[in-house]
Structure 1
Amino acid sequence: MLEQNCHQHSDYGLENHGLENLNEVFWNLNTAALYEKILNRHEGTLSHLGPIVVRTGHHTGRSANDKFIVEEDSSKDVIWWGKINRPLSEAHFENLHQGMLNHLQTQDLYVQDCFAGADPAHRLPVRIITQYGWHSLFARNMFLQATAEALKKHVPAFTVIDAPRFHASPSMDGTNSETFIVVNFKKKMILIGGSSYAGEIKKSIFSVMNYLLPSKNVLPMHCSANISADGRCALFFGLSGTGKTTLSADASRALIGDDEHGWGAHGIFNFEGGCYAKLIHLSPEAEPEIFGTTQRFGTILENVAIDAKTRRIDLDDDTFTENTRGSYHISAIPNVQKNGMGEHPKEVLFLSADAFGVLPPIARLSKAQAMYHFISGYTARVAGTERGVSEPSPVFSACYGAPFMPLHPMRYAELLGNKLDEHHSCVWLINTGWTGGPYGVGQRMSIAHTRAMVNAALDGKLDDVAMETEPFFGLQIPRHCPGVPDEVLNPRNTWSHPEEYDVQAKKLATMFAENFHIFADHVTEAVRNAGPG
């Protein structure tokens, strides 16, 4: 029986959120109890070896156009308003909030009281109220779980109310569609509705951390992090498809976290207690640690195909989406830093999958260049083919995570520059994309070469190597790297016709400059001049 876990809302202050007449509230259920609720209520399917397989409906990823920040006096003057951070009026928020409360009055709900931030000095207590049991399990996986003693004193600094079955009325609520993700910094509340994609819960709290921490001189970062046996920490920034998860998952180094971190006075710390990995085409050979999580009790598999009879999953099946996901507690990874913390990073890596074939496979950045490339947040996406020729398209996402940055990117870049100065961290730009030509002509960078370059950088083997300056971006390229042929290091040398490389490099440099134009008035002259010449 689970009576001890099923409590009336009034015992736990849910009336403060306007939820007075609920049927039952399932308070901080553990994983086994949540499994029972999920299966009994047909929210998911039990797969072979124990993971829960769920469907998120037509929302198989984040709804970027449905995210809003409430425009109110306490925060409106510091928010980076624009296409990413859209304003919603306080009146519309109140109307939307009341509509959600009316909808939820007759619903059973799940509550998880947990934390974001492994560093006790910057730990944020959060309350996640969900309509689905599997969303409660997601919160339990992804956030830092509270001990029994901590639960007695837990007072949420931010509350998420997640109601996928409630839909907004755009004409009445000021939203773009029936789906919404609304952050109210004044009321310390987040409303999510119309979407079952659990990632919205995780990223909404990440956005809150990105708003709160800079005022404490802490740099919030959309990156993975690991640590060597002798305590050398490294950060891996990169957009989807750049190899961030693969390169940071190293059997010789302990994983601190795979997605969200802070860099404060005492070093770096994970925001989360779990991982949210992309699973499509995952193999036991390439990523054995992550693959192992797909065969264990407690893991949630989002939109992964499953055989109804054998209950075996197929990670190569993209019937529902390419964005298949696995949510699991970080303890499922064999080699992890259990306290989620590390020393100040010695190396910072910016990963880019450059489909234009221009950027060097590894280059050392000055502080100003690091700030420039951090603000740019570049990678490239391969477009469709026409008559056998593919044309790449650039992707720029400020700070490698623009959708989650409420403040102007320069605020985060300034913090990065200060941290680099203070702790003498070295920044490397790594191209995991194409060499010898653009996509369709050249070839993808050898993963063995990339790993050799990353390992050399992390082990300090490139610290005293002679460098040459590449002419288009002003990047410092090592002349030699252990385990990598010298001719691979300078991308111009890998093209059959170097003059074609020059044309492509000028083209990409122009794209960088055009993208950076919107930031130019907000950065220092040194950063402005650190881009392509």
Structure 2
Amino acid sequence: MPNIEITTKPTGRSPERKVHYGSRTNHLDLSRPKYNKIGEEKYFWEFYFDFDEYDLDHNLVFYTSGMCFRVETNDDRHAQFVRNMFTVVDNPYDHCADWTILHNTEMKTLPAIAVNLNEHIMLIAGTTFLGEIKKGVFSILGFELPDQNILPMHCAAFTYENKTNLMFGLSGTGKTTLSSDPKFRLISDDEVSWNDEGIRIIETGCYAKSEGLTQETHPTIFNAVEEARKQKTLVVENPGASNARLSYPIDCVSNAWIDQEQFGHPDNIFFLTMDATGRFPPVSKISGDTVRRFFETGYTSQMPGTEAGNDEIKKIFSPCYGSPFMPRPVKVYSDMLMDKITNGNCNVYLINTGMDGSGNRFSLDFTRTCVKSAIDIGIADNSKEVLNILEGLL
């Protein structure tokens, strides 16, 4: 299949258009109604039977996190995207899916995502944005895995100097850039789970932003994209847009772990914040309630001019560093994280990828050095200082 370019409508996910159905919705966190809406079940079935009018020619089955998913879609481009992001099996009808995702890009409707938690069916229509399927899978895992004492995490993972590391961060904080350091060996660029044995990959593909991508600043990603282009597996989404993305299988990444799903417990965890106020140190070691507070708030900031009409620094909060994908109460995830950190004797660091006290952005090389130094030699704990700063911003 040739490389693919797609301009989507809309050009991003539509998490506010997601509605949940069924009695299992009693487990949702209704204090975050933007992402955790509940609907009457009759409307789900009306939407479900609308899909009967369309041919969903692609039937794709893959396994992740101990669960079997089936994706049925009408769209060649989205089928290739699924193949990039997951290891699709042969003979799909020989497998019994735990969850089914029906995906239609022809249906004339506003973006709509319907999730029946009892029937294990997700419906997606009215959008051609590629990430909707990917994050649909992740949000299902975000709901299901805690029942198995498995923590789903919106983070990158990599090894360096024989140590395993996690890196949490919202869009714009530098997670993809930092985790793709040429000296790191990539495990996953975006989604990982943490079970009793250690961490495990969720996807076998990458979905990287392309804005500012050069061989000098992002050599690992740049070379992976070129390899995918040669293999004719590259999917380019919304070329030229500020949120343009590139999808390719992880085996295009020269220094990635291939054919290994399970890894040991992490040695270090990094929380990234792009702090535009210049109040946080470039690197801080944190512990205890400070770790919980940062995880539960997911703080970062947005610079003036990032959005039309925005002429002030804007504070952004996304609990668990991925609020749209974590539908249960936030404390469910933070309790699991704190238990696993304690049991695994894991170090936690806060990295400020934003501004220093003079209003100058920390350089990429400097921040990369901070990360490596924390892994190599560690630093003294300054939880109280950074917690006081965070509380002042809330």
Q: How would you bin the TM-score normalised by the shorter chain? A: over 0.9
Return the offset for 1:251: 2.2
Return the offset for 1:510: 3.5
Q: Which residue of 2 aligns with 1:445?
A: 362
Q: TM-score, normalised by structure 2?
A: 0.93
Q: Which residue of 2 aligns with 1:55?
A: 7
Q: Which residue of 2 aligns with 1:322?
A: 242
CA distance in 2 between counterparts of 1:378 and 1:454 reads: 19
Change (3 A) 1:285 1:371: same
Is structure 2 residue 59 aligned with structure 1 residue 111?
A: yes
Choose the corresponding residue for 2:133, options 173, 192, 201: 201
Return the offset for 1:144: 2.5
What CA deviation, in whole Å up to 9, does each residue of 1:207-253 have, x standing for no partner? 111111111111100000001352x1100000011110111112222
What CA deviation, in whole Å up to 9, does each residue of 1:31-60 have, x standing for no partner? x3xx4xxxxxxxxxxxxxxx321221x311
Change (3 A) 1:87 1:299: same
What's the RMSD between the two structures over aligned residues?
1.9
Return the offset for 1:67: 1.3
CA distance in 2 between counterparts of 1:367 and 1:420 reads: 10
Change (3 A) 1:467 1:166: closer
What CA deviation, in whole Å up to 9, does each residue of 1:250-299 have, x standing for no partner? 22221110111100011101100101111122111111121123331201
CA distance in 2 between counterparts of 1:323 and 1:406 reads: 25
Return the offset for 1:342: 1.5
Choose the corresponding residue for 1:86, options 30, 37, 40: 37
Q: Which residue of 2 aligns with 1:140?
A: 83
Q: Structure 2, unaligned stretches of length 5 or more?
A: none
Q: Which residue of 2 aligns with 1:211?
A: 143
Amino acid in structure 2 at the alignment position of 1:473: L
Q: Which residue of 2 aligns with 1:250?
A: 181
Indicate if the aligned counterparts of 2:301 and 2:315 stay in contact, CA closer than 8 A.
Answer: yes
Q: Which residue of 1 aligns with 2:97?
A: 156
Is structure 2 residue 302 aligned with structure 1 residue 361?
A: no
Choose the corresponding residue for 1:303, options 231, 234, 238: 238
Is structure 2 residue 354 aligned with structure 1 residue 433?
A: yes
Return the offset for 1:448: 2.0
Map residues 64-463 of structure 1 onto 2, 5 A cutoff: 64-70=15-21, 72-73=22-23, 75-81=24-30, 82-101=33-52, 103-104=53-54, 107=55, 109-117=57-65, 123-146=66-89, 148=90, 153-168=94-109, 178-228=110-160, 230=162, 232-295=163-226, 296=229, 297-304=232-239, 318=240, 321-338=241-258, 339-384=260-305, 391-437=312-358, 442-459=359-376, 461-462=377-378
Indicate if the aligned counterparts of 1:294 and 1:301 stay in contact, CA closer than 8 A.
Answer: no
Query: Larger C-alpha radius of gyration, 1 or 2?
Result: 1
Partner SS state of residue 76, structure 1:
helix
Change (3 A) 1:242 1:285: same
CA distance in 2 between counterparts of 1:276 and 1:180 reads: 22
Change (3 A) 1:94 1:344: same
Return the offset for 1:398: 0.3
Partner SS state of residue 343, structure 1:
coil
Indicate if the aligned counterparts of 2:182 and 2:219 stay in contact, CA closer than 8 A.
Answer: no
Q: Which residue of 2 aligns with 1:493?
A: none
Change (3 A) 1:418 1:467: closer
Amino acid in structure 2 at the alignment position of 1:365: I
CA distance in 1 between counterparts of 2:217 and 2:242 reads: 18
Amino acid in structure 1 at the alignment position of 2:236: L
Indicate if the aligned counterparts of 2:56 and 2:72 stay in contact, CA closer than 8 A.
Answer: no
Partner SS state of residue 303, structure 2:
strand
Map residues 486-505 of structure 1 onto 2, 5 A cutoff: none
Return the offset for 1:394: 0.4
Q: How many percent of aligned residue pairs carry the same amino acid?
A: 34
CA distance in 2 between counterparts of 1:277 and 1:201 reads: 15
Deviates more, 1:60-69 or 1:233-242: 60-69
Amino acid in structure 2 at the alignment position of 1:268: I
Return the offset for 1:363: 0.9
Change (3 A) 1:249 1:91: same
Give the paired residue count.
Answer: 384
Partner SS state of residue 80, structure 2:
helix
Change (3 A) 1:384 1:432: same
CA distance in 2 between counterparts of 1:279 and 1:262 reads: 25
Q: Structure 1, unaligned stretches of length 5 or more?
A: 1-31, 36-50, 118-122, 169-177, 305-317, 475-504, 513-533
CA distance in 1 between counterparts of 2:255 and 2:148 reads: 31
CA distance in 2 between counterparts of 1:433 and 1:131 reads: 42
What CA deviation, in whole Å up to 9, does each residue of 1:358-394 have, x standing for no partner? 1111111112211111001010001239xxx952110
Indicate if the aligned counterparts of 1:257 and 1:340 stay in contact, CA closer than 8 A.
Answer: no
Amino acid in structure 2 at the alignment position of 1:203: K
Which segments of structure 1 move beyond 6 Å, counting only runs of 4 or more?
none
CA distance in 1 between counterparts of 2:165 and 2:102 reads: 35
Change (3 A) 1:298 1:430: same
CA distance in 2 between counterparts of 1:65 and 1:406 reads: 12
Change (3 A) 1:302 1:472: closer
Q: Which has the higher contact order (CA 8 A, sep 6+)?
A: 2
